[in-house]
Structure 1
Amino acid sequence: MAEVHFVLTTDLPGSAVMRTLTDFGDRRLERFGNIDRAHFQVHGQGPGWADVTEGNALAWERSRYDWDEVAGLVTVKTLESDSWGAGSRWEYRWHPHAGGGTEIEVTVVRNPKTLRGRLIALGLPLLGRRVLKRDLEKVLRRTG
């Protein structure tokens, strides 16, 4: 199992952070540069949840998104993947930052189930925090 945790601050309000994380329209492909059209499908969606496949040639996963704007929380649980097994997940928690904007805490847990997953998971403790934080910062800049 590999786990990465990081915190970042954005000028965006929490409501914009949540809308960005839970917008599964075509803008998602523009905002999230690591998702390609061939690996993007919304299987179902309703108030506070979505069932979505996302990824690219390196790895894809079908996930259950659940969110609560009042609690400032989005959870993403892996349902199926070419690389990740049961218990793999993302968690985004946010709250107002004292200096303005929003502070976002992100936790990523990866339980590899294949050789490819194990190789990616080996790099997460070394590079994951920096790469994943930079990627989320880019997504949020594309929102603002």
Structure 2
Amino acid sequence: MPVIHTSVTTDLAPAEALRILTDFGPGRAAAFPNVDQSTLIVHEVGDTWADVTEGNKLGWERERYDWDPAAGTITAVTTESNLWAAGSRWDYRIAAADGGGSTVQVRLERHAKGVMGHLVGALIPLLGARTVRSGLVSALSAH
């Protein structure tokens, strides 16, 4: 079970960073490099939750997003995927940074499913933190 931790500091206020990460509108695929428009399906969205399928040609996952603006937290738990078992997850914690802006901490936990999931999962300790950090910088910069 690969788990990675990484963080990004941005000039955005914590509320704005949270808004961007929970924006499931038409710009999501353009903002997140690992999300193809062809796999993005927004099933339902509530005030502090969403049921979304997203990914790319290699892998996709349906996730239940839940967020708490007051706490600055977002969780995305996998409910279905071609690579990852249910219970795989993303956890974000957004906090005000010293001097302004915010720090976004990310924890990614993967439970592989199938041969391809195990192969991709083996790369996560090697490339995962850099890939996640790069995607997060891209998303926060796109808005």
What code does the residue aligned with 1:134 have? S
User: Which ranges of 4 or more aligned residues in structure 1 deviate by more than 6 Å?
Assistant: none
Counterpart CA distance in 2 for 1:92 and 1:60 is 19
> What secondary structure sits across from 1:130 in the alignment?
helix
Q: Which residue of 1 aligns with 2:133?
A: 133
Deviates more, 1:87-96 or 1:33-42: 33-42
Q: Which residue of 2 aligns with 1:118?
A: 118
Counterpart CA distance in 2 for 1:50 and 1:5 is 23
Counterpart CA distance in 1 for 2:135 and 2:45 is 25
TM-score (norm. length: structure 2): 0.97
TM-score (norm. length: structure 1): 0.96
Unaligned runs of 5+ in 2: none
Counterpart CA distance in 2 for 1:14 and 1:53 is 25
TM-aligned CA deviation for residue 86 of structure 1: 2.2
Counterpart CA distance in 1 for 2:9 and 2:62 is 28
Per-residue CA deviations over 1:49-94 (Å, capped at 9, x if unaligned) read 0000001100000000000110000000000000000220000001
Counterpart CA distance in 1 for 2:115 and 2:70 is 39
* Aligned residue pairs, count: 143
Unaligned runs of 5+ in 1: none
Q: Which residue of 2 aligns with 1:12?
A: 12
Q: Percent identity?
A: 45
Report the RMSD for the aligned CA atoms in angstroms.
Answer: 0.8
